[in-house]
Amino acid sequence: MAPVSATPGRAEASTMARALREAVLAGIIAFGLFVLYVGLKTDQNISNELILVPRPGLLAIFVGLAMVARFLGVLYIQPAMKRRRDAKSAAADLELQPSYVKRNFSTIAIIALVLYPPLMVALFGTQGSLKWVDNFGIQILIYVMLAWGLNIVVGLAGLLDLGYVAFYAVGAYSYALLSTHLGLSFWVLLPMAGILAALWGMILGFPVLRLRGDYLAIVTLAFGEIIRLVLINWTEVTQGTFGISGIAKASIFGIYSFDVGAPNNFAKVFGLPMSAAYYKIFLFYVILALALLTAFVTIRLRRMPVGRAWEALREDEIACRSLGINTVTTKLTAFATGAMFGGFAGSFFAARQGFVSPESFVFLESAVILAIVVLGGMGSLVGIAVAAVVMVGGTEMLRELTFLKAIFGPDFTPELYRMLLFGLAMIVVMVLKPRGFVGSREPSAFLHARKSVSSSFTKEGHG
Amino acid sequence: MAVAPVMKPAASSADPILKVEHLSMRFGGLMAINDLSFECRRGEITALIGPNGAGKTTVFNCITGFYKPTMGMMTLRQKAGKDFLLERLADFEINKRAKVARTFQNIRLFTGLTVLENLLVAQHNTLMRASGYTILGLLGFPAYRKASKESIELAKHWLEKAALIERADDPAGDLPYGAQRRLEIARAMCTGPELLCLDEPAAGLNPRESLALNTLLQGIRGETGTSILLIEHDMSVVMEISDHVVVLEYGQKISDGTPDFVKNDPKVIAAYLGVEDDEIEEVIAEVEEVAHEVEEGGQK
């Protein structure tokens, strides 16, 4: 470090000198690293001999990049970060009142979501809003709901569940099968799908009650795969990989339908031009309501004895038992409640797609949902919602980045790099915020003042 | 019984809250507890002492259901006269139904929950009933709101007793060690126990904290009439507050009586301090003499 000097001019000069020095050092290291890998290339000449082709230009670019990055880093980024840290610690002493937006984040977010579809219609027209309402709005909200459901199991009860998508599948197939065979409506089957998924949650819960940590994770993973394999192989019922198509659409409580041929078709009744957008907008509000229901129930449950018992279970299971808490039923209720919301989301998914197949319920889905929960901060609803927007919205957004073709050539397809960028983003977030976007925990009751609990005290749960 | 000859003629006519009879616990080839019998009397503080590895914590784990004993019977009689056979209850039922609460040697708090929440978790079963097993509470019935208020009042009461009221909204993991010990006792008391089992409550406390603990324990016994069974190494705590001491060595009882009696028992002294090889005969003779006198006294 440069010695602290009284005159700012000298301090700047010394930083500059240090930056130059470190840049040269970085250049030497980069040269050493890349001279063989980048600087030389083996090639075959006409007589099939291996020859070394030196690439000084490319090597120079690499070294130059390293030097410039290091120079800028030392000169600008490090002091800026230091200033920020200082400002933060100073602010902590002052007990700064959080900004208006921060305090009312949930309310503002809900209002924004309610206004989102009309805004999109106004901006892009009825047909143009389809992409924004469906691909972004509904898609993200499904993941928000799934992640909030999984949050009950992983974030509150501390039970690592890698097979959550199984309950999503149970919900989706419950709706698909019962509506095609029995002709029941969405609003009857929605609670039924939830109950069936909760039942399967309990069925999963029983064998894994004694398992903890890694063992629990493996068994839940296996459970997810079993459900998927049954869906593939039980062809008489599920039609295997072909999936079930032509699933009935949801209606506005039976009053207005979205079937094109129906006499009470929404667009016909109101004399609007035919468009798929109305159905999507309706679905947007349905999933919004379902997600808010999940949030409401979770918030309510956290203040109830069962919710506190979940969190206590995450902190210390043995202490729970010494306090007379039945850990068996506590775990089962956590599994069942989480699974129920997964089931709701699943039946909604089936109604939205009109088609379900086992391909939608692969392990990757479970992993993405879990990643959202971890990224958002286990237990925090706001953090998880933000993480879902970033993860799902971000990957959808990559499809839109057509301008990248101008830079990388017409063959460049940004979608192919989705997973790469996704992984990179996750690593960056986890390095900067190891406990997720919102790592602290809000206490469920307080005596004098509500103080959030720092993440250094909360535990992740043992299993 | 020939195994434990040194026994003060027990005042067993007094109302025992816990009766442990012929308790044995075997781990593979190791007999951790061998045919142990003792009683805890209602409203008294009973101390369980003994050298390291004597099996004290194993006895605790048997009483509170974390181990299933190999043999033996543990009867808990509640104030209302209801009897529970502890070895037949599942671990959580021992607290829920038999009303036996415990603390742990290595403190087990819910570190990520606040101090207040720790005490609310302890009232799980009461609140569960009040909330109609969650359903009525979820629908916002007033019964739960009332019970919830009462639970906070109870928590407040114990926070004041444990001198933790100032820190009610801090995470439990943030408390200093001595305060964590007191919080664990307060949490156990929030379950409304008839018998409170404390596993080395004074371990790691400085003399001042130790004194505060004594006051807290005597306060608990005095105000609620809760009987206390405690394991302790700190003799100042044991001799100061306990009414009755049981001494274990190698899983067997070697002495049982008032603190003064136990303090002067040659067998206890031998167990704690050790004796020279050539003195063993002497000690045994002395012990047998005492036993003989006791037996005769008992027969008369």
- Are A198 and A376 within 8 A, CB to CB? no
Cα A51 versus chain centre, distance: 49
Structure confidence at residue A7 (pLDDT): 53
Instruction: Inform me whether the C-beta atom of residue B150 falls under 8 Å from chain A C-beta atoms.
Output: no
Query: Cβ A305–B124 below 8 Å, yes or no?
Result: yes
* Distance, CA of A211 to CA of B97 (rounded, Å): 26
For chain A, list residues with pLDDT below 70: 1-11, 90-99, 260, 402, 404-409, 412, 414-415, 461-463
Letter for the amino acid at A180?
T
User: Touching check for B96 and chain A: CB below 8 Å?
Assistant: yes
Statement to judge: residues A189 and A324 lie in one domain = yes
In the structure, what pLDDT confidence band is assigned to residue B142 with cuts at 50, 70 and 90? confident
Q: Per the domain annotation, does A222 fall within a domain?
A: yes
- Residue A459 forms part of a structural domain: no
Is the Cβ pair A316, B108 closer than 8 Å?
Answer: yes
For residues B72 and B22, the answer to whether their CB atoms sit within 8 Å is yes
DSSP-based three-state secondary structure for B61? helix
Tell me the pLDDT band of B4, cut-offs 50, 70 and 90: very low
- Helix (H) or strand (E) run with residue B175 in it: none
| Tens-place pLDDT, residues A176-217 | 999 888 888 888 889 999 999 999 998 888 888 778 778 888
Contact flag A322-B64 (C-beta cutoff 8 Å):
yes
Chain A touched by B117 (CB under 8 Å): yes
Candidate from B65, B120, B171 with C-beta closest to A457: B171
* Cα distance between residue A234 and residue A241, in whole Å: 10
Q: Are residues A250 and A296 in the same domain?
A: yes
State whether B121 and A448 contact (CB < 8 Å): no
The residues, ordered by sequence, that sit 6+ positions from A459 with a Cβ below 8 Å of its Cβ are A158, A314, A315, A316, B111, B112
Domain end residue (candidates: A344, A367, A400): A400
> Taking all residues of chain B, what is their mean pLDDT, rounded to a whole number?
81
Q: A297 in a domain, yes or no?
A: yes
Residues on A contacting B at a C-beta cutoff of 8 Å: 297, 300-301, 303-306, 308-309, 311-312, 314-316, 318-327, 333, 441, 443-451, 453-454, 456-459
B82 touches chain A (CB under 8 A): no
* Containing structural domain, residue A381: 106-400
Domain count, chain A: 2
Rounded Cα–Cα distance for residues B152 and B155 (Å) = 5
Q: Which residues numbered 126-145 in B keep a CB inside 8 Å of some CB on A?
A: 127-128, 131, 134, 137-138, 144
Could you tell me which residues come within 8 angstroms of residue B46 by beta carbon, excluding any fewer than 6 positions away? Answer: B38, B40, B227, B228, B229, B230, B242, B243, B244, B245, B246
* pLDDT tens-digit map of B235-259: 777 888 888 888 888 888 888 888 8
A319 within a domain of the structure (yes/no): yes
Asked if residue A259 belongs to a domain, the reply is yes
Structure tokens at B125: 């079963």
Phi and psi for A156 in degrees, rounded to 5? -90, -55
Let me know: does A195 contact A341? Beta carbons within 8 Å.
no
Nearest CA in chain A to B61: A322
Residue B137: how many CA atoms within 13 Å on its side-chain side? 25
User: Amino acid letter at A257?
Assistant: S
Q: Give B181→chain A minimum CA distance, Å.
A: 14
Say what angle helices B177-189 and B207-224 make with each other, to 10 degrees: 10
pLDDT confidence of residue B296: 64
Note whether A85 and A133 are same-domain residues: no
**Strongest mean pLDDT among A134-138, B15-19, B107-111:** B107-111
Distance of residue B210 Cα from the nearest chain A Cα, in angstroms: 23
- Compare CB distances from A458 to B65, B102, B112 and report the shortest one's residue: B112
Q: What b/e readout covers A385-416, taking b as 16+ CB neighbours within 10 angstroms?
A: bbbbbbbbbebbebeeeeeeeeeeeeeeebee
Which segments of chain B are extended strands (E)?
16-27, 30-41, 45-49, 71-77, 83-85, 100-102, 195-199, 227-231, 244-249, 252-257
Q: Note whether B31 contacts A: Cβ–Cβ < 8 A.
A: no
What does the block give as tokens for B187?
A: 């949490």
Every domain of chain B and the residues it spans? 1-99+194-293, 108-191
Same domain assignment for residues A74 and A188: no
Chain A / chain B CB contacts < 8 angstroms? 144
pLDDT digits (tens, 9 = 90+) for B281-292: 666 676 677 667
Checking ipTM against 0.95, whether it exceeds it is no
Q: Does residue A139 sit in the same domain as residue A233? A: yes
Tell me how close the Cα of B117 comes to any Cα of chain A, in angstroms. Answer: 7
**Cβ atoms within 10 A of the Cβ of A260, count?**
11
Of A176, A125, A105, A397, the C-alpha closest to A281 is: A125
What percentage of chain A carries pLDDT values higher than 70? Answer: 90
Interchain CB distance below 8 Å, B171 and A325: no
- The whole model's pTM is what? 0.79
The per-residue pLDDT for A106 is 82
Contact B153, B96 (CB under 8 A): no
Does residue A138 sit in the same domain as residue A233?
yes
* Cα dihedral B192/B193/B199/B203 (nearest 10): 40
Question: What are the DSSP E strand ranges found in A123-261?
Answer: 244-245
Query: Residue B104 and residue A443: Cβ atoms within 8 Å?
Result: no
Residue B174 burial (C-beta neighbours within 10 Å; 0-12, 13-18, 19+): middle
Q: Which residues of A touch B169 (CB under 8 A)?
A: 443, 446-451
Q: Domain check: are A182 and A302 in the same one?
A: yes
Using CA atoms, how far apart are residues A146 and A338, in angstroms rounded to an integer?
Answer: 9
pLDDT digits (tens, 9 = 90+) for A71-98: 888 888 888 888 888 877 766 555 555 6
Tell which of A346, A367, A400 closes a domain: A400
CA-nearest residue to A453 within chain B is B171
| Angstrom distance (rounded) from CA A218 to CA B57 | 34
| Chain B residue closest in CA terms to A299 | B138
The model's confidence at residue B13, banded by pLDDT at 50, 70 and 90, is: very low
Which is more confidently placed, A4 or B125? B125
**Class of the CATH-defined domain B1-99+194-293:** alpha beta
Q: Which of B86, B105, B111, B121 to mutate to test the interface with A (most CBs of A within 10 A)?
A: B121
Q: Which two tokens stand for residue A453?
A: 């609990």
What's the rounded mean pLDDT across residues B28-51? 86
A111 and A88, same domain (yes or no): no
Q: Does residue A88 sit within a domain?
A: yes
Kindly identify which residue of chain B lies nearest to residue A314, measuring between CA atoms: B110
User: What DSSP element (H or E) covers A52?
Assistant: strand A50-54
Q: Is the pLDDT of residue B300 over 80?
A: no
In this structure, the answer to whether residues A215 and A318 fall within a common structural domain is: yes
- Interchain proximity A458–B117, CB inside 8 Å: no
Q: How confident is the model at residue B6 (pLDDT cuts 50, 70, 90)?
A: very low
pLDDT in tens, B53-102: 888 888 888 888 888 888 888 888 888 878 888 888 888 888 888 888 88
Indicate which CATH number applies to the domain containing A309: 1.10.3470
Q: How many CB atoms lie within 10 A of CB A375?
A: 23
| Phi and psi at residue B52, to the nearest 5° | -60, 140
Diameter of chain B measured on Cα atoms: 76
Position B269 confidence tier, pLDDT thresholds 50, 70, 90: confident
In a domain? residue A188? yes
Q: What is the pLDDT of residue B224?
A: 84
**Rounded to an integer, what distance in angstroms lies between the CA atom of residue A161 and that of residue A146?**
13
Q: What is the pLDDT of residue B277?
A: 59
pLDDT band at B3 (very low <50, low <70, confident <90, very high): very low
Give A241-270 pLDDT, tens digit per residue: 888 888 887 777 777 777 767 777 777 777
Above pLDDT 70, what percent of chain B? Answer: 87
Residue A441 backbone dihedrals phi, psi, to 5 degrees: -120, 140
Q: What residues of chain B lie within 8 A of the CB of A448, using their CB?
A: 168-169
Contacts of A319 in chain B (CB under 8 A): 104, 108-110
User: Tens of pLDDT along B192-226?
Assistant: 888 889 888 888 888 888 888 888 888 888 888 88
Q: How far is CA A435 from the centre of its chain?
A: 14
Mutation for testing the B interface, residue in A311, A320, A328, A447 having most B CBs under 10 Å: A447
Q: Does residue A49 share a domain with residue A116?
A: no
Number of Cβ atoms within 10 Å of the Cβ of A419? 11
Assess whether pLDDT exceeds 80 at residue B136.
no
For residues B105-120, one letter each, b for 16 or more C-beta atoms within 10 angstroms of the residue's C-beta and e for the rest, the string is eebbbbbbbbbbbbbb
Give chain B's length. Answer: 300
User: Is residue A425 situated within a structural domain?
Assistant: no
- The pLDDT assigned to B276 comes to 61
Q: With contact defined as beta carbons under 8 Å apart, do B91 and A321 qualify?
A: yes
B121 and A306 within 8 Å at the Cβ level: the answer is no
